Amino acid sequence: MTSTASSKPFKRILLTGAAGGLGRILRERIKPWADIVRLSDLSDMGPAGPGEEIVQCNLADKAAVLRLMEGVDAVLHFGGISVEAPFDAIMQANILGMANLYEAVHKTGVKRVVFASSNHTIGFYRNTDMLDADMPTRPDTLYGVSKCFGESLSRYYYDRFGIETVCIRIGSCFPEPANPRMMITYLSADDLVESLRCSLFAPRVGHTILFGVSDNPAKWWDNTKAAHLGFVPKDSSAQFAAMFPDTSAYPAADDIATTFQGGGFILNGPQYP
């Protein structure tokens, strides 16, 4: 972290996945934290605005990722595939891409990474389970498996090299819940930004797993073991309660999408080329 009287807290923050849904939300909102925001994606990101740098980069290209990391102080890693897909694609973007990113972080001396992990790392827990960060992963898809890999790889780079990472297991970050499950997993855009702020500015984070969720009435996830970050969500899905009125109809016992925390992702199954 760099700081002078005339500069922002960071000189340069890298945001990967800048063309994605969450990347587009974050693009403007992280600018107060850095003199320069370097935006990266495979897709078109449009022209660079004030205080921005645009770098198109394939995360599977090791040399390109190393160049991407030059001059960077901290990384917000939102790049890669964010849904279930054939394994070859997931392997390139989410597994090889993650390995390339952390090796570049190590070689260039970056000290802090915030990794956009996913609630699908634990999707095969039942919705009657309460989880904390020490519960074993139970991914619900190959996409979820790739996020488990990312969490483990970041743990290795912390234990081996001291590179601090916060893995945010993002719930459902959309303008509003689309179904009753999302009433539990809802994460507002404001709370997402606040989780990133806390993850970047906490003096020490070590290797932390944070469940990315707002202060919703029903809860599956316990963030006690990430309390040192100081993340306190301000929003709640309670404002959307009228969209899903109470009913006495219960789902079928074999309806796995309502039995497991992964919801509809459970039905995707592994995809091979």
What is the CB-side half-sphere exposure of residue 234 using CA atoms within 13 A?
7
pLDDT at 3: 46
Rounded to whole angstroms, how far apart are CA atoms 173 and 187?
5
**Mean pLDDT over residues 32-44, rounded?**
97
Could you report the per-residue pLDDT of 99-126, keeping only the tens digit for each?
Answer: 999 999 999 999 999 999 999 999 999 9
Distances (CA, A) of 179 to 11, 61, 199, 257: 41, 38, 29, 11
- Alpha-helical segments (H) within 109-241: 142-161, 180-185, 189-201
Protein fold of 10-267: Rossmann fold (3.40.50)
Rounded to whole angstroms, how far apart are CA atoms 80 and 75?
14
Of the candidates 211, 218, 266, which has an alpha carbon nearest to the alpha carbon of residue 240?
218
CB 96 within 8 A of CB 60: yes
CB 250 within 8 A of CB 258: no
- For the chain, the average pLDDT equals 94
143 is catalytic: yes
CB 124 within 8 A of CB 141: no
Q: Where are the domains of the chain?
A: 10-267
- pLDDT confidence bin for 1, thresholds 50/70/90: low
CB 51 within 8 A of CB 72: no
Rounded to whole angstroms, how far apart are CA atoms 151 and 162?
15
pLDDT at 270: 60
Q: Which of 125, 143, 157, 158 is catalytic?
A: 143
